[in-house]
Structure 1
Amino acid sequence: MPHAPDGGLGPTRAVYPGTFDPFTPGHFDVVDRARRMFDHVTVLVAVNDDKRPTRTAAARAAEIQRSLPADWENVSVAAWQGLTVDYSRHHGCGVIIRGVRNSTDYQHEHELAAMNEALGVTTLLVPARPELATTSSTAVRALRA
């Protein structure tokens, strides 16, 4: 994590980006853990042209916001189209949170983390809890169909 000039932790705002179609128990768990590490966490509902979400980013963001406990006052939800790094810079988020379920996720996220770091934003990879590692949004959508 970035360090402030006084030696303490730097920015305490983080962003957790994803398509979140749907927002799974694993996503919920990552947000819960992240909100305990940072002063503020933004769940960033992203537009990803490689995926075909079933609802608009705004609809997904509203659903996520409704699902969060009322006492999670340091968590907000926003929809965003563009680079997560751009959102991070514009909103003072010094860390990007990414969940990883397995080695395939790790390899992909490690590559993205390197790019984000080169652009000035640190990425924190949060491993999925074992009991949640097998759940993916794709699998949940398939079960709903």
Structure 2
Amino acid sequence: MTIRTGVYPGTFDPITLGHMDIIRRGAKLVDRLVIGVTTNPSKSPMFSVEERMAMVRREVADIGSEIHVVSFDALLMDFAEQEGASVIIRGLRAVADFEYEYQMAGMNQQLNNRIETVFLMADVALQPIASRLVKEIARFDGDISKFVSPAVCTEVAERVALNRQKKG
């Protein structure tokens, strides 16, 4: 029996309820789900890769499926090949996401046509959530509890306070 492995890549800075929705649903499509936590040079992370990996591990602990959280700093298709993946899982929030993701899927297929990209639409209630916006709301003391778990909410608040102390 072949084990079907999927990769769900992202920065997860921080992990949101939208990410968790895609993880739960993606885990049903594969036997083994690898959550690839990566750096994105165009984004300035609030949390280190190690902190984000720990956050994701804690948040997915109750899902019960075979989920592995690893970091990577390589081409996604090379990482997916290394993990033995046959599927890349990507979440879509809106039409704007689709254009970017469609282009990426096309480029990835050119790099490795043995790995399929599967798009999952985020739950309607979770579609507006983006880590970038969660951080922005938190920096202005807004309530992010509708967008992240209680533990992540606390971690973000602590990091915002720490960053203010460093600047002040």
**What TM-score do the two structures reach when normalised by structure 1?**
0.89
Equivalent of 1:130 in 124, 132, 141: 124
Question: What are the Cα deviations for residues 18-77 of structure 1, in whole angstroms up to 9, with x where unaligned?
Answer: 111110000000000011110011111111101111111121011110111345241111
Distance between the aligned counterparts of 2:25 and 2:11, measured in 1? 19
SS in 2 for 1:37: coil
Which position in structure 1 is the counterpart of 2:133? 139
CA distance, structure 2, for counterparts of residue 42 and residue 90 of structure 1: 11
Quote the RMSD (CA, aligned, Å): 1.3
Identity %: 31
> Of Structure 1 and Structure 2, which has the larger fraction of its residues in helix?
2
Query: Segments of 4+ in structure 1 off by > 3 A?
Result: none
Look up the match of 2:153: none
TM-score by length of 2: 0.77
Q: Which runs of 5+ in 1 are unaligned?
A: 1-9
Please point out which of 21, 30, 36 is paired with 1:38. Answer: 30
Larger radius of gyration: 2
Gaps of 5+ in 2: 140-168
Q: Secondary structure at the match of 1:87?
A: helix
Corresponding residue pairs, total = 136
Alignment partner of 2:71 out of 61, 66, 79: 79
